[in-house]
Amino acid sequence: MLSARFRVVWRRLPTFTRSCCTMADEKTQRLTVRCIPTEENMIISFLHGERQTNLLRSQSESLGKSLGRIMNNIKKASQKGNKNKKMKRDDKTATGSDDIDVTLFIDNSKVSEELENKLAWKDGAVLEIGDNRYTVEKNPPTILKLTLPQSIMSGFPVYPRVEMEFGNLGNSEFIWYKEVKSDLPIEECDEAVAMETSSTRSDSSIVAKKILKIDITSSRVPENWTEIHKGKFYMPTNSDISHKLKLKCVPSDGTRSGEAKEVVSNSEVSAGVGVCPFETRHIYTQNKIGDEGLRVVSYNILADPYTSTEFAQNVLYPYCAPYALDIDYREQLLLKELTGYNGDIVCLQEMGKRVYSTAFLPAFQLLGMEGRYTGKAGDIREGEALFYRKDKFRMIAEYDVKLNDVVQNDPRHRKLFDKISENKALVDKVLTRSAIVQVTILETLSEPKKKLCVANTHLYFHPRAAHIRLIQTDIILKHLSYVKSLYTSQNGQDDLPIMLCGDFNSDAKHGVHKYVTTKSIPANYADWFSAGKDEYCADITLNHDLEFKSACGLLEYTNYVAGFKAAIDHIFVDGNFDVSQVIPMPTEEELSLHTALPSVVFPSDHIALICDLEWSKK
């Protein structure tokens, strides 16, 4: 096959355009090829002149056909440019025409045009288009998306949202800039005139105005941005207030760097709220835990769908300033609070699906953690999220279940389901609840044979639903017992350490805490009567075979709102763990400073539970 060849008219670009785009300059440019073995097509991208070219070609197509398409695209672009030219040229300004070859080389040898694309386009190959040379970068580190939060406050860390391909965050470079606000030297441009027309006038009169132009050649002109920090995230200071931020990210895989991308914040940095009470708790968590133990955090963060309604603002939390209920404000406090705890395992309840993907996951990934989200049953826009430290754990399995589904379809719950089915109102209530349990199996990197089961849940909230919470707890415990049996019998493991975290909507005086820690609930227990006769079902006795204790002990409150305060959140651990430290809770004086939670300094109506655990030496 003959190499692709055509005649194209080149026009000389003005001297202020990119020099690398002129024929006289032999500087090699970049051409990227995205080619994934599992995908049918590949993408060839490069800049030719002022035009960005992106070609989608089949991996099995011959190189010659792809080079021909490149040739045709450039020819069409050249012809289009000529048609749009509206001024006449004399002999001195007209350019000549040149023959242009489009050829791919590897090690100075021409690549056969019969070769398939997937084999022809190799990293380091050179594409020549006339006198223009392009170095091929196959699957280079690439930034797919780079954004900054909508709201930025001084004193609260800014975590960019980065989506990257063929690179990793750890090896990439992050450079932060602050907007410079100052009077720039200007000169009056006599020959430049801004023409302004008014659509409100009946005539077509035109008003001419002199404009002011920045002298781009003057060394007196300062940069618009000044570098302020290098790192994956940035903590704005008071000196940044009323200035925008810019982030430049250079993606890398450790050996190769891709094309840098920049993003400018939509808003200026605003004044932060100052020191929050949770920062006192950070004194106890400033150091990470070694391989001999782990730090666990469990926290209901108050889902954004539950704070954005008039009911929330006027009935549930009328004492909280509306701006402090907004998720853009609260997520900044939440991220500063959570990242300051230096948790190895972080279990969050009421995690909004959108907030997880746009804010929490990107932030935790920048800090060396990985996460997973499990939405509740039905159309609920929130669920449970787990984050774990990647230098300490590796996820090997997940066993999530929807409680209303598993209770009626899993034979292990058949006895319970048959019993509650005797009361239609009761079984309907159980089957229409959206609760789930997120179950994750982690493997320790320091000792790969050691596995850990982390369960995360949020039970039904209604005050007259203690009986429903008992049933939901039994479903969870039976499921965890089943998961444990898989690893102790089928995988040959002696034991599977388990922790159960969450918002159980039940304090130590009620049935859930008692059932988890004592392994049984009798048929005459008071919680069975919490909804009266309508949902009562006689002779339900519950038992389980797991050993649990409350890691944080008996607390006074974990939920603190106007008219209600109780310890309804828990971290239950089995005998494989010893508790070495429980992080002190905020004082009631701190919690009530702004009436109750949430507030301008507390981002949720719950309080995070944090405890340090050690692997038991039993």
Residues designated as active site: 503
**Which residues make beta-bridge pairs with 30?**
135
Question: Of the candidates 171, 158, 553, which has an alpha carbon nearest to the alpha carbon of residue 339?
Answer: 158
**Per the structure block, which two tokens stand in for 481?**
């017992």
Tokens 């835990």 correspond to: 289
SS3 (DSSP) at 336: helix
Cα 419 to Cα 430: distance, rounded to the nearest angstrom:
12
Residue 375 to residue 350: CA distance in whole angstroms: 9
Could you give the C-alpha distances from 19 to 35, 48, 130, in angstroms and in order?
Answer: 30, 12, 16
103 C-beta neighbours (distance < 10 Å), count = 17
Please name which of 595, 592, 591, 589 lies closest in space to residue 607, comparing C-alpha atoms.
591
Determine the Cα–Cα distance for residues 3 and 67; give it in Å rounded to an integer: 8
**Which amino acid is present at 417?**
F
Within 13 A of 282's CA, how many CA atoms are on the CB side? 12
Token pair 């105005």: residue: 209
Sheet strands (E) in 425-497 = 436-444, 451-458
Cβ–Cβ < 8 Å for 352, 330: no
Residue the block writes with tokens 């692997």? 615
Instruction: List Cα–Cα distances, 351 to 102, 266, 361, 561, 577, in angstroms.
Output: 53, 25, 11, 19, 27
Rounded to whole angstroms, the Cα distance separating 301 from 352 reads 9
